[in-house]
A and B are shown apart, each in its own frame.
Chain A
Amino acid sequence: MDILNMLRERKQRLSELARQRRDKRQAKARIVIKSRIDEVLDPRSAKRLFDTIRSSDPLLFPGYAEKTRDLVKRSGHPDAFICATGTIDSRQVVCAELLPEFMMGSMGTAVGEAVTRSAEYATRYHLPLIIFSASGGARMQEGMFSLMQMAKTSAAIRRFSDGGGLFISVLTHPTTGGVTASFASLGDIILAEPDALIGFAGPRVIEQTIGSSLPEGFQRSEFQLAHGFVDAIVKRDAMRVTLSQILKLHPEVRI
C-alpha cells in the first residue's frame, strides 16, 4: 500500500515538474503576431515607423520593466503597437495597429506616443490615417501617465481632423476602456470586425454595477452598429477592399 502511495506521489511530482518546464518554455516562446497592417497594405510597400519608442515606468511598478522588456524580446515589437506607412492600391496611407498579445494592447506612454506620432505624421504629409484598435484600455502600471495618453491622442486627432485629414478607425476584438474613450471613437469613419467586444466599461464591471447578467451580444459590433456607434461591420478578409473603396471616395490631397 505504502509503495503504491509512494509511486503515485512520485508520478504526481514528476508530472508537476514536467508542467513547470512546459510553462517555462511557453513563457519564453516567441509571440507570433499576425499583423492586420501587413494584410491591408500592398505587398512590400510597408515602411515601419516609430520602432524606437519604448514604454516608461513612472510608478516604478514592481515587475513592470522586466515584463515589458521580455515582451519586446519575445514579440519583436516595441510595445503593444505596430506603425507603418505604405500603400493600399497605390494610395499612400499611415497605419497604426494595437496588439492585444502585448499586455492586452493596453495604452501606456508608448502606445499613446505611437498613436500621436502617427497622427502627426499623417498631418505633416497629408495622408489618410488608419488605426486598428484592440485594447483592454489604459495601462494601469503607468498610472496617470496612461490616463493622459487619452488626452494626448485625442488632441493629435483633433489637429489632424482640423487639417482636413481622413481618419478611419477600425475596432477589433476587444476594444474597451481608455482607447474606446479616446482616439478609437473619433474616426471620420468607424469600422468594426464582426462580433468584436466594443465598449467603455468591461462586461464584468457592468454586471457588478447593475447586479445582473448582460444579454447575449451586449457591446458586440452588431450591438454598436444598431446603437449608432459604428458605420459598418467588415470581415477581416474584406478589410483591404473596403479600405481601398473608402480611400478612393476621398480624393488625394496634393502637396
Chain B
Amino acid sequence: MSAVNTMTAWQHVEIARHPQRPHSQAFISELFEDIFELHGDRHFADDRALFAAIARFEGIPVTVAGHIKGSDLNENISCNFGMPHPEGYRKFIRIAKQAEKFGRPVITFIDTPGAYPGAEAEERGQGEAIARCLFELSGLSVPIIAVVIGEGGSGGALAMSLADHIIMYEHAVYSVLSPEGFASILWKDPKRAEEASEVMKLSSADLAASGMADSIVSEPEGGAHKDAHRAIEALRPTLKKALSGLLLLDTQSLLEARYARYRGYGEQSEA
C-alpha cells in the first residue's frame, strides 16, 4: 500500500493490464458458490465478452456479471478481449431486470478496454445498448455493487458500473477513454498515452478522492498477479460489508441515494 503514492499513473495502467492479472472468472469462482451461468440476450446472440450468472455470495443469492478477457490467446479471441457487443449489454440488462424481479442484489466485475468499436456493433446499436443499461440500472430496485478489478474503460465499463457502491482494486484504473484514445483525441498522437495517463486522474486514489470509488482493496506488493488467491480473498470482507450495508436500506432510500450520487457529479447550484 505504501508504494502506491510513489507509483506513476502509467505503472498502474500497466499492472491493470497485466496479462497474468486475475480476471473476472477467477474472482467469481473463488468468491461465489452454486454458480449457474446464464446465456444470451434473447434477441440476437450470447456475447462471450460478458459473463452472467446467478450464484450465492456468503449464502445470499445474487446476480453476478463481469467482463471476460480470457486467459490465453484462444480465449482472448473468443471473448473479444473483454469488449462486449450490444448483445452483451442486452444480456446484462436482461439479467439485471431478472435480479430485480427476484429481489437479488447485482454484483459486477469491471475489466474492459471499452465497448467494442466495430462495424457490426454499430449496426446493432452499441450506443443504444449502453444507454439502456444506464437507464435500467439508475432505477433498478435492488442494490448494485461494482468492483473495478482491472481496466475500467469508458462507456463500456460505465454501462455495468452505475452502482450504489463502487469498489476499486488498488492498481485498477477507470477513465473516460483509454490513455491512448485520450492522447489521440487531444494531442493527435496515441503514442503520448503515458503522458495522458498522468493528467487523466484514473487511479483508484484519484477516484476515491473525487467520490467515484467508495472502497479500495489493497493488492500484494507489485500487483494482484503476484498472489492472485490472496488478492481475490482480500475483496471478500469489503464486498460483504458493502452488501450488508445496502441490504439494510429500503428501496426508496436506495434509489434516492443512487440518484443523489450521480446527480452530484458536476452539480451546480442555481444562481
30 contacts between A and B (CB under 8 A): A52-B270, A58-B201, A58-B210, A59-B200, A61-B199, A109-B265, A109-B268, A113-B266, A113-B267, A142-B266, A143-B201, A145-B265, A147-B175, A149-B266, A150-B158, A151-B138, A151-B162, A154-B134, A154-B138, A155-B134, A155-B162, A180-B131, A181-B115, A181-B128, A181-B159, A185-B128, A185-B132, A186-B131, A186-B135, A214-B119
Give Cα distance in the complex from A208 to B125, angstroms.
Answer: 19
- Whether B123 is near chain A, meaning CB under 8 Å from some CB there, is yes
| Given known A-B contacts A155-B259, A159-B259, A181-B155, A206 and B134 have beta carbons under 8 A apart | no
Contact between chains at B266 and A112 (CB < 8 Å): yes
Contacts A113-B268, A116-B263 given: A218-B131 contact, CB under 8 Å? no
Q: Which residues of chain B are near A180, meaning CB under 8 Å?
A: 127-128, 131
The interface of chain B, by Cβ under 8 A from chain A, is: 115-119, 121-128, 130-132, 134-135, 138-139, 154-155, 158-159, 162, 174-177, 181-182, 185-186, 199-202, 206-207, 210, 212, 258-259, 262-263, 265-268, 270-271
Q: Give residues 191-247 of A contacting B (CB, 8 Å).
A: 199-201, 205-206, 209-210, 214, 218-219, 227-229
Give the shortest distance, in Å, between B34 (CB) and chain A (any CB): 31
Closest to A141 in B: B186
**When the two chains form their complex, are residues B266 and A56 in contact, meaning their CB atoms are under 8 A apart?**
yes
CB neighbors of B among A170-191 (8 A): 177-178, 180-186
A188 to chain B, nearest CB (A): 12
Pairs of residues from A and B, 8 with the lowest C-beta to C-beta distance, nearest first: A109-B266, A201-B117, A180-B127, A154-B134, A155-B138, A200-B127, A185-B131, A52-B271
Question: Do residues B117 and A209 form an inter-chain contact, with CB atoms below 8 A?
Answer: yes
Nearest B-chain residue to A159, judged by Cβ:
B259
Q: Which residues of A contact B118 (CB under 8 A)?
A: 201, 206, 209-210
**Pick from A141, A143, A178, A218: contact of B155, CB under 8 Å:** A178
Q: How far is the CA of A12 from the CA of B35 in the complex (A)?
A: 74
Known contacts A158-B139, A162-B139, A210-B119; decide if A143 and B158 are in contact (CB<8 Å): no
